Structure 1
């Protein structure tokens, strides 16, 4: 089937990753998420589509614990996940930066798609949940 929508688990690769998480022993689930994020974050060449899709799914799991949307109940993991350490959020940000970079097969694949803009906005939303943009501060000189 491949990819059927723009969500983090709306493709075969991410759904398979969710299944791998469900099949993994409880104590190994964080390591599996970390490994997928690290693989994408450490990519120095072209990030292939399957690594990118797994990284987006892993980042969505981290974001869900930071106030983001719950993961897909149909294609996401059905087994409980550990509470991820705070430092994993920054690794997820780095992975999403690689997913959205020019050297990403996902970017190439979504470039000409009618849903490409919505996909990019979804990745940006995930990233902003994990590392909110710094809001400009009011000019302190004018405060009384």
Structure 2
């Protein structure tokens, strides 16, 4: 098996401007900061080095191992104590799970996996939703680290869309809709 090269050594994303910083680096100009050698170039699930590297690792893994890798990153994020070290990978994994759900959008980016993903078991939907909820709100996660408020709103909207697909609202029956409130 060939060694997986970190994304920042393979190519840079469009614009290459970093939009997220860690709390200690918040005093630095956003374009001068790299968080653990991680660049962020957009608000999509695979628009950062960590998620793109995760996609590369998925591509390099045997197909039967890919489900385990996605499950593991979701569980690590849900159960994390302190910082959310795997949050970007968990968002990427959740996007892959959501892509297989009714109403899910396909992962169609050069930074996502290029190999087909196996069918993910239904129980991953709940884990993906929990990992996204934790990532979206945890003060030790990426949510408070966005420099630009508009980027932060777009990123939160991406997470909300993924969550809506993973756990759709309960259907309202015709009899419920006719009842007065």
Q: What is the TM-score with the length of structure 1 in the denominator?
A: 0.88
Larger radius of gyration: 2
Confirm or deny that 1:36 pairs with 2:73: yes
Matches of 1:20 and 1:134, distance apart in 2: 35
RMSD over equivalenced CA pairs, Å: 1.9
Corresponding residue for residue 70 of structure 1: 106
Distance 1:141 1:74 in 2: 50
SS class of match (1:118): helix
CA displacement 1:16-63 (0-9 Å, x = unmatched): 000000000111010001011111111243323xx1100000000000
| Contact residue 47 and residue 103 of structure 1 kept, 8 A | no
**Structure 1 match to 2:124:** 88
Give the TM-score, by structure 2 length.
0.71
The answer on 1:15 being equivalent to 2:52 is yes
Distance change (3 Å), C-alpha of 1:121 and 1:111: farther
**Residue of structure 1 in register with 2:15 after alignment:** none
Q: Which runs of 5 or more residues in structure 2 are unaligned?
A: 1-11, 13-38
Cα distance in 1 for partners of 2:141, 2:147 equals 10
Moved more, 5-14 or 70-79: 70-79
CA distance in 2, matches of 1:115, 1:73: 19
Aligned length: 140
Structure 1 position 139, deviation (Å):
4.9
Higher helix proportion (structure 1 or 2):
1
**Which one scores higher on RCO, CA 8 angstroms, separation ≥ 6?**
1
Name the SS of the counterpart of 1:77 in structure 2: coil
